[in-house]
Amino acid sequence: MAELAPLNPLIRLAVLTVSDRCSRGETEDTTGPAVCALAAEQLAARVVATRCVPDEPDAIREALMAWAGSAEGDAAATVDLVLTAGGTGLAPRDITPEATAAVLERRHPGLLELARRRCYDITPRTYLSRGEAGAIGRTLVINLPGSVRGATEMLEAMADILPHAIDTLRGDVQDDGRPDAQPITGKVVRHDD
């Protein structure tokens, strides 16, 4: 595993697979484990929780809220990133975006816009994924497609900016690179672009 910078603590990750068939044990969840493996590799994330739920709004909302609020007041134990896999398409039971939007405190559509743009050359079908992204407290939530290929391609497409997004959400980034900025409570991030 890659060595992490001292001011960028390990990303604590939870992965929620949304699938009627997987939740009933009719098929094996391959997407959730693939997302966990890629996040560990690309983000140096530590998986702290996984779960599989049916395509039911209450089950999705409850899992998201439990992980985002599981350590209220204990910043060291809070889940930093929740990735969902499944339920983002156009099928009648694909309701993950709606269930997620109902609990997000602040939406961040730009993350998935970036992922779709970067994945377009691989497959234009990337635009069929209706995922949501945003924050619940200091937890970033991102909906990914249900297929292994779709979920991993979209995660990989935004992996380069997620550590900075999480640092910012944690409150670790105090300043975004003004030449005279001095760190007081957080770190100063200098941008070359």
Range of the domain at 141: 11-188
Q: Give me the percent of the chain exceeding a pLDDT of 70.
A: 81
Number of domains comprising the chain: 1
Residue 4 has pLDDT above 80, yes or no: no
Contacts of 100 (CB under 8 A, 6+ apart): 60, 61, 64, 84, 131, 132, 134, 141, 143
Q: Is the pLDDT of residue 187 over 90?
A: no
For residue 80, pLDDT beyond 90: yes
For residue 4, being part of any structural domain is answered with no
Residue 72 has pLDDT above 70, yes or no: no
pLDDT value of position 5 = 39
pLDDT at 183 over 70: no
Q: Are 15 and 38 in contact (CB under 8 A)?
A: no
Is 5 inside any structural domain? no
pLDDT of 1 above 50? no
What's residue 43's pLDDT?
96
Q: Does the residue 3 lie in any domain?
A: no
Model confidence at 131: pLDDT above 60? yes
Rounded Cα–Cα distance for residues 133 and 82 (Å): 10
Checking if the pLDDT of 125 tops 70, the result is: yes
Question: Across residues 101-111, what is the average pLDDT?
Answer: 97
Evaluate whether 32 touches 17 at the Cβ level (below 8 Å). yes
d(CA 78, CA 2): 22
* CATH for 24: 3.40.980.10
Mean pLDDT for the stretch of residues 145-166: 97
Residues 10-62: tens digit of each pLDDT: 899 999 999 999 999 999 999 999 999 999 999 999 999 999 999 999 999 99
- Contacts for 28-32: CB closer than 8 Å, 24+ residues apart: 30/148, 31/85, 31/86, 31/144, 31/146, 31/147, 31/148, 31/151, 32/85
Is 2 within the bounds of a domain? no
Structural domain includes residue 39: yes
Q: What is the pLDDT of residue 6?
A: 41
Among 144, 168, 178, residue whose Cα is nearest residue 19: 144
Tens digit of each residue's pLDDT (9 = 90 or more) over 163-180:
999 998 988 776 656 666
Give which of 33, 147, 155, 159 is closest to 94, Cα–Cα: 147
Is position 6 within any domain?
no
